Each structure stands twice: as C-alpha cells, then as structure tokens.
Amino acid sequence: MDYRKIFSLCLDGNVKPALEYITLIQSGSLSLKDQGFRSAFEKRFRYDHDQEGYRNENNSAISDILQLYRDYWRTSLLDSSANRDSLFIEQLGSLLGKKYGSVKQLSINTDSLDEYLRKYIMASGYMTTGFGKTGKLYDLLVWQKQEDTVYIFTTGNEKIRAHVIFMDDFVTLGWEQYATLDNYYPGGWANDSALFCVKKAYDLHSEIFLISYLAHEGRHMADYKLFPKLTSADLEYRGKMTELSLADTTLYSLINFFIANANYNSENGHSIADYCVIRDLSISLFNKEYISDQDAWKKITVGEIHEAAKNILAENTKSLHALGSKAGDSIYIKRKYLPK
C-alpha cells in the first residue's frame, strides 16, 4: 500500500481518489497493518456516515461542535468539487446562537463566529485556535493544557528570540488529522508574537523540532512583521526554504516529502509552496524546471543544497522588499517561474 500517495491526496483535501485506490488493492497483497488501515479508512469514508468514530466526540464537553465540524470535513473531503462553506457557517452560527442569544442579533461573519466560538470552547475548559481555515477547509484545533518557554536561535543572519507555547491534551487536531486517521496533523504554527507547538509531535532535541518546527515557524513569526500581507503559499515557501538551508540529517527526507505533496494548482498553501520550492531549487541546481527523481537529489551535496536555498531565500526577500506594500497582493512565488 502506497501510504505516501494516500496521505498526499488526503492532505490536499481530496479523499475520494485515495478511497478508490485503497479499495482496488487485492486483500491478499496486504499486510495485517495495511488491512487494518484499509478497514478503518473505509469505515470513516466509504459509507453514508462515519462508522470509524471521531476521537473524544462522545465524551467531550464540546461534542456538538466536534460533530458539526466532522460532518463538514467529511462531506468536503469526499467531494472536493463542491464548496460547503456557506452552509457550514450558517449551521455553526445557529448552534452558537442557541447558547449566546446575542449572536442572533449579529450578521454572521468570521469575526463574530470567531468571538463566540472561542467563548463557547473556553467556557467548556479548553483552548482553541478559533474560527479559521487551513488550506481550503475551516479547521478547528482544541487542547486542554499549555506551558510557556523561550527559545533563542539563529536563522540565516537573524537572531530570533521566540516565545514558545507548548500545547498538550488535544481534543482535536483538525481536518488533516481526521483525513489521515491521526497519521498527520499540524505540528504547530506562529503569529507575530509567539510560536505554538504541539508538544507530542516532537523530540525536542531533534533536527525535526529545531529546524522543521523552530526555524520554520520562526521564519513565519519574523515574516508576519516584515511582510504582513503575504499569502499562505508565500509564507510556507519561505519557511520551507529556510528548512532546506539548515537541515542536515533530515534534508533528503524533507525534499522527498515536498516532492510527494507538491501541487501547483492546489488551494492548499503548503502544496503550492512544496511545488515552488522544488521548482526553484531544480532551476538553481540542475538548470531544469522541475526534478522529482529522488536519486538525482541525493547526488547533490548537503552543502550545495544549503547554499542554493540560502541564495533563493535571500533573493526572495530582496524582491519582496522591492515590492513594498504590494508584497502579498497576489501569490508572488507563482509568478516567478511559470510551468511550461
């Protein structure tokens, strides 16, 4: 079973072809692990309702919210051609209106939904990211515990002092966790004043934490101040290029992951950035538009990849400064080199 193919489709918000692929595999060719995964995946997505179950939804104080999000995620993931955002917003507004009568007096918009969703979840004893999107779907992360600390680190020539909030005891880690049956989920995120880290996702002494989380999200935190209008794809492009300028033991694994999840035409900023990172490094290191052959990348030294990534990131920074207030009006990285 090609899990890379399955999870790439799921993380791009397109479960239906992943389900079709899984169903077509002959049972005799599957290991016990593969059979277990297929059974759980089919229970979640094949039938009229989720028969696999959504963790904690029946014993959580916010089970009504979780069920609403789950149903929205499930139907959206199974039919990526339809947009169910308006119906979901209406349903969420109606649910919150039953608890907060004042919601009924407000126009249902993202600001009012965010305010009252946070109130509802926090009154139940949890913390949350609030109302917002990851890629093309409205997402929800909810946790029970958090602790604060400070990290000081260097990325490029910048020394960054970061306030890091470690989060624990999650009720939900969002639609990516739901789509991949807990195999993938956000490891953290940043705003202009702090980094938020899903503690269970990392060995805090590993390169994955120090570079793929801390340096990547630190790049975001700095960019929110430097270029406040940047799109998700542009922010991820700069974060991922920062990773490739620093990673050592995980470098080739990162490149393989970016290749596997690259999609230039996606609505997910991560997938767009994955494509553009590999595209621009391919132009720099191979003088070709896009190299997806993993063996070819392994012939390029770590030092050469570091240098190329640093130079591309520096050039990107220079170009964004030159754009000034226009930086972020559209996806800059998609305009740089258009595919043939």
Contact 334, 233 (CB under 8 A): yes
pLDDT in tens, 217-256: 999 998 999 999 999 999 999 999 999 999 999 999 999 9
pLDDT in tens, 117-130: 999 999 999 999 99
Please give the pLDDT value at position 301. 97
What does the alpha-carbon distance between residue 54 and residue 50 come to, in Å, rounded to a whole number? 8
Please give the pLDDT value at position 43. 94
**48-54 average pLDDT score:** 82
| Distant-in-sequence, close-in-space partners of 52: CB < 8 Å, separation ≥ 6 | 40, 41, 43, 44, 181
| Domain residue ranges of the chain, discontinuous segments joined by + | 1-53, 54-219, 227-336
Please state, rounded to an integer, the average pLDDT across all residues of the chain: 89
Please give the pLDDT value at position 196. 94
pLDDT category at 318 given cuts 50, 70, 90 is very high
- CA atoms within 13 A of residue 27's CA, in its CB half-sphere: 3
Please give the pLDDT value at position 156. 63
**Cα 190–274–285 angle (5° rounding)?**
120
**7-35 average pLDDT score:** 92
State the maximum Cα–Cα separation within the chain, in Å, rounded to a whole number: 63
| Lowest mean pLDDT segment, chosen from 96-100, 138-142, 212-216, 238-242 | 96-100
Tell me the C-alpha to C-alpha distance, in Å, between residue 237 and each of 147, 152, 287: 29, 23, 20
* pLDDT higher at 192 or 178: 178
**Residue matched to tokens 């989920």:** 185
**324-332 average pLDDT score:** 73
pLDDT in tens, 250-282: 999 999 999 999 999 888 899 999 999 999 999
Global pTM value: 0.81
